[in-house]
Amino acid sequence: MQEIFPGTAARLEEWKADPNVLGVLLVGSKSHEHGDELSDDDLEILLTDEAYARIAPKDVLDLLFEGEAPNKKLIYDGEYLSLSAVEKRVDSPHDLYRWPYQSTRILFDRDGRTSAAVKAVSEMSAEFRRLRLIHATIDAGVAGRRGQKTLKRGFEGAGRLVIARGAKALSRIVFALEWRWVPLDHWLEAELKTLEDPAQIGPLIIEAVVETRPELLLEGLKRLEDRLFEEGVPRPAGRADLFYEVLHPSRAAERAIHGLY
């Protein structure tokens, strides 16, 4: 377990003594065991609704730096939130608001509500997971084929963008298969390595982006075909019909949540 800095620990004691603070979370790279010499302590300080309402927008961040330039270092980056705002994230479809809580370290919990909120927000429902797998399979296949055509036309920049979208779609699949949310982009490589990933899709995703190889997205889907079929996703022969189903206007709201195109 990667420890917080002494300066963070001292500030934590001050927050614990403040009755308006209901919880303190470590949510950044250290909580996911990715911390290095560039890392600071990324924190969320959860307040009562009344206390949060008194904070001006410009004051929602609490920062501590140590040292002087050029060796000045950020020790912690704390964001003030209301606990109720975090509790409401249980209804969010966005990985940004869900992924951090799957490995959050609870540094302080005044009354148990913080732990309960973290647990609820970190979980992915079976229905959400089902729809994510369906849409991500379609999106990854579209990106793989479209990326190949785009590169053949000589549009390398556009091709790279298409491949990146396909990589995000394929990432959604491999994380959802393990009931996990997709990390922030800058931690994708590190988080892919934490998956069980028996089909070794993670290396394909990174190679597809780095080497500009859209065919690797299709290879990834091929390796996952049996597993996806077990999860209710049609095999390739049935995906054309599935494509038209999920693109139908009657499913626009669903696609706005789960689709990348």
Domain segments of the chain as ranges:
6-122, 126-258
For residue 149, what pLDDT is reported? Answer: 98
pLDDT at 171 over 90: yes
DSSP 18: -
- Of 77, 124, 80, 117, nearest to 99 (Cα)? 124
Overall pTM > 0.85: yes
- Range 212-225 burial, b when 16+ CB lie within 10 A, else e: ebbebbbbbbeebe
Query: Taking the mean position of all CA atoms in its chain, how far away is CA 9?
Result: 27
For residue 70, what pLDDT is reported? Answer: 87
Mean pLDDT of 144-151: 98
- Of 181, 185, 259, 172, nearest to 221 (Cα)? 172
25 contacts 106 by C-beta, under 8 angstroms: yes
DSSP 73: E
Is the domain spanning 6-122 CATH 3.30.460.10? The answer is: yes
Alpha helices (runs of H) in 83-231, residue ranges in sequence order: 83-88, 113-122, 126-152, 156-177, 188-192, 201-210, 215-223, 225-230
What is the average pLDDT score of the chain?
95
Shared fold status for 6-122 and 126-258: no
For residue 201, what pLDDT is reported? Answer: 98
For residue 32, what pLDDT is reported? Answer: 83
- pLDDT, tens digit, 9 for 90 and up, residues 45-102: 999 999 999 999 999 999 999 999 888 999 999 999 999 999 999 999 999 999 999 9
pLDDT at 1 over 80: no
The pLDDT-based confidence of 27 (bands split at 50, 70, 90) is very high
- pLDDT, tens digit, 9 for 90 and up, residues 179-209: 999 999 999 999 999 999 999 999 999 999 9
Is the domain spanning 126-258 CATH 1.20.144? The answer is: no
pLDDT at 117 over 80: yes
Surface-to-core class of residue 77, CB atoms within 10 Å of its CB (0-12 exposed, 13-18 middle, 19+ buried): middle
For residue 36, what pLDDT is reported? Answer: 78
Counted residue by residue, the chain has a size of 261
For residue 39, what pLDDT is reported? Answer: 83
- pLDDT, tens digit, 9 for 90 and up, residues 91-111: 999 999 999 999 999 999 999
For residue 69, what pLDDT is reported? Answer: 86
- pLDDT, tens digit, 9 for 90 and up, residues 221-241: 999 999 999 999 999 999 999
